[in-house]
Amino acid sequence: MGTDMAAPGQPRCASYDAIVIGAGIQGSFAAYHLAQRRKDTLLLEQFFLPHSRGSSHGQSRITRSAYPQEHYAHMMPHSFRLWQQLEDEAGTPLYRRTGLVVLGPPGDPKLEGCRRNMGPDNVLDAVTLEQRFPGLRPRPNEVALWDGSGGVLLADRALRAVQDAFRRRGGTVRDGEKVLRIDPGAVITVTTTAGLYRAPRLIVAAGAWTNAVVAPLGLHLPLQPLRIDVCYWREKEPGSGGSVTPCFMATGLPYAPHGIYGLPALEYPGLVKVCYHHGSPTDPEERDRTPPGSPRPHVALLSNFISSYLPGLESQPAVLESCLYTNTPDEDFILDRHPKYSNIIIGAGFSGHGFKLAPVVGQLLCELSLGEEPSHCMAPFAISRFPGVLRAAL
């Protein structure tokens, strides 16, 4: 849709109620919420869809109620409801409940934060854990918390579902169109490789490219893109049950200070996905330039973990893929207005845990862009927690 003003043979030129940059899971949900409010919305994506160059590709993401931080724990019931609505609308499953185990030594801040937010009745004793998941072998002193709501979001399917739902509400997706320039004002002009678009509000959800998009607007956010090794581990004896695990998060490991998480076999039969919750600093344009044979320290620490916690799996990964995190220093999201241009909204820094919360994030970005009272407290997500990010534009 959009009000088209293009002359034949000229670049496209159209006006919308809202423009969203980035068709990853966050931008797609923001666009969906805008379209649900009957806003004529344009969703711009630099790559042709679907693509695997950002953070939202792949078949699986963990969802869970267990969160050490209260603000995310409060948002999760809302997020589960919105996922359920999308699933109903899509008419296809987007979520597989497996339960989730949080493992860690007593006193570990993340474990204790989860325990506090989940309530006292969620500790799994060692006998029950072993009966349910004989493949998972925690250390004798460790506590296991059980989150029965935990499970796997079918990520690629979910991304397609939200984009389809957006289109069904009249939204426009233009993929293969990179945003080159943003001219702020009461009406913002967005110039892409193929056209020129105008709208009174803009949402930037550009993942690891966010600073490239907002730096010309004088904003330099403390965002660090990380290249993540996504590893899948084969059962030593096919069919022995080693791949029947819950989702899990292990914290308080001295050799893996950012924690390790895992998901039961899904995308590759018999292969369990187990990853380190951290990666190597990278530039999203350069991530494939790692020289062949360069050391992979995070794979080595995962092998160490597998040998002791999941001994039914081979200790070298069978499949190795990569993905991008975009981390903030405190690993809380950035969801806020541009400090100088209040009709430009930024959603970034999802720090490797944003997929499950995308339906709520999209709603919050939509509410900010429409000048509505946000549905959740926004203080943890404010840009003002990072002083000195606004500089003179180039």
Ligand X SMILES: Cc1cc2nc3c(=O)[nH]c(=O)nc-3n(C[C@H](O)[C@H](O)[C@H](O)COP(=O)(O)OP(=O)(O)OC[C@H]3O[C@@H](n4cnc5c(N)ncnc54)[C@H](O)[C@@H]3O)c2cc1C
Ligand Y SMILES: O=C(O)[C@@H]1CCCC=N1
**What's the token pair of residue 122?**
């969620």
Residue pair 223/326 in contact (Cβ under 8 Å)? The answer is: yes
Cα–Cα distance, 175 to 173 (Å, whole number): 6
Q: Does 56 bind ligand X (CB under 6 A)?
A: yes
Pick one of 66, 76, 206, 231: the residue that binds ligand X (CB under 6 A): 206
User: Binding of ligand X at residue 231 (CB under 6 A)?
Assistant: no
Peptide bond before residue 238 is cis, with ω within 30 degrees of 0: no
Structure tokens at 285: 């344009």
Whose CB is nearest to ligand X? 24
Q: How many CB atoms lie within 10 A of CB 11?
A: 12
Position 182 contacts ligand X (CB under 6 A) = no
Q: Is 27 in the site for ligand X (CB under 6 A)?
A: yes
Q: Other CB atoms closer than 10 Å to residue 191's CB: what's the count?
A: 16
Q: Does 261 engage in binding with ligand Y (CB under 6 A)?
A: yes
What would the two tokens of residue 299 be? 């794979």
Among 179, 231, 344, 364, binds ligand X (CB under 6 A): 179
Q: If we measure between CA atoms, which residue out of 302, 298, 350 comes closest to residue 54?
A: 350
> Does residue 228 bind ligand X (CB under 6 A)?
yes
Residue 178 binding ligand X, by CB under 6 A = yes
User: Per rule CB under 6 A, is residue 349 in the interface with ligand Y?
Assistant: no
Helix (H, G, I), strand (E, B) or coil at 287: helix
Min separation Cβ 180 and ligand Y, Å? 32
Report the distance separating Cα 153 and Cα 355, nearest Å.
Answer: 9
Contact between 227 and ligand Y by CB under 6 A: the answer reads no
Which is it for strands 172-174 and 41-44: parallel, antiparallel or unpaired?
A: parallel
Q: Which does 25 bind (CB under 5 to 8 A by kind): ligand X, ligand Y, none?
A: ligand X
From candidates 39, 64, 174, 298, binder to ligand Y by CB under 6 A? 64
Piece of 108-116, 348-356, 367-375, 386-394 that binds ligand X (CB under 6 A): 348-356
Is 287 near ligand X (CB under 6 A)?
A: no
Under the criterion CB under 6 A, does residue 325 sit at the interface with ligand X? yes
Residue 353 touches ligand Y, criterion: CB under 6 A: yes
